[in-house]
Amino acid sequence: MTFSFDAFVTTALFDRTGRAAFALGDGTIRFEGGEVAAAHDGAVLAACLAPAGDAILTGGDDGRVMISTASGVTEIARVAGRWIDAVAASSESKLIAFSAGRDLHVRDMADPAFTRTFTHEKSVADVAFDPKGRRLAVATYGGVWFWYARIADQKPAIYKWAGSHVGVCWSPDGKFLMSAMQENQLHGWRVADEKNLRMGGYPAKVKSMAFMSKGALMATSGANGAVCWPFAGATGPMGKQAAEIGYDDAALSTRIAAAPDKTWLATGLDDGRVWAANVTGERIVPLKAEKGAAISALAMSPDAKRVAWGDEDGNAGVVDIP
């Protein structure tokens, strides 16, 4: 199943039922059944699943935070004159978070009166809830700031590392926090003692990270294949080497998708191709062999049986893994 949307595909998602949706640069959410939700007056800048897993939470350059389903849209918040650059949601705590400039806002989907705002020294680039939905990690310039999502007055823990941090990802057990840098590298910390994890050697920026195999592996883009770091054990990847799956000297990986408790991953390339692999056997399964615009969005269904992809030119598709 393929689509032509004529707008940059910001994010591809599967809801908890396995239905695919795409957030686009024209402000719409397109569902694989053909439904269209007009969410934003402008581009969708960030998107994720809403806490219940049955809707799409988005932030746009119109300063609005929206929840979209196939039947309609609901405005959650509005920050006049600001872009909503990052959104996150927790199925455990039912909280959502979104950034506008230096401010991170937190809302409770079960309590409309609940609101928190945490301010940083520099603009927020990304945000992620820990596995229990209680703590937030915020990527910004100079490191990652940690906040307890519900506490109003607090001093954040700041894990410092020079440079611009642009993406964050918690390990499923909450013991490690990984950050993608503006430079071609990853940085991370063991949360308990702030032990640094330096993970370099990438030929391109790491735009995508995904834990898989019940947290035993983390796969990333930014190389000539999918880079898989071992995270089993108390020391995680410290002192260990990464494996690269699907090496191809003609292309670089731009997006990675995986199901957290499965051993399958999908990889999108800068030449428009998409493939999947089961890391236990490393057999590469082509999902989109035709070349085209760089893959800008990628998702894997919860059962690891389907992959949704989108590219910079607005082409998209949903394909079964054979």
Q: Which of 115-129, 133-147, 185-199, 246-260 has the lowest mean pLDDT?
A: 185-199
| DSSP characters over 93-143 | T-EEEEEETTEEEEEETTEEEEEEEEE-SS---EEEE-TTSSEEEEEEEEE
Which positions ≥6 away from 205 have C-beta within 8 Å?
Answer: 180, 181, 182, 183, 184, 222
| DSSP characters over 211-223 | EEGGGTEEEE-SS
Neighbours of 18 (CB within 10 A): 12
The answer to whether domain 212-322 has CATH 2.130.10.10 is yes
* SS3 label, residue 16: coil
Q: What is the pTM of this model?
A: 0.94
Return the pLDDT at 281: 78
Label residue 232 by pLDDT band (50, 70, 90): confident
pLDDT surpassing 80 at residue 280: yes
Label residue 240 by pLDDT band (50, 70, 90): confident
Per-residue pLDDT reduced to its tens digit, 5-31: 989 999 999 999 899 999 999 999 999
Domain spans, the chain? 212-322
**If we measure between CA atoms, which residue out of 318, 310, 319 comes closest to residue 5?**
310
Per-residue pLDDT reduced to its tens digit, 147-173: 999 999 999 999 999 999 999 999 999
Strands 209-212 and 20-24, sheet pairing:
unpaired
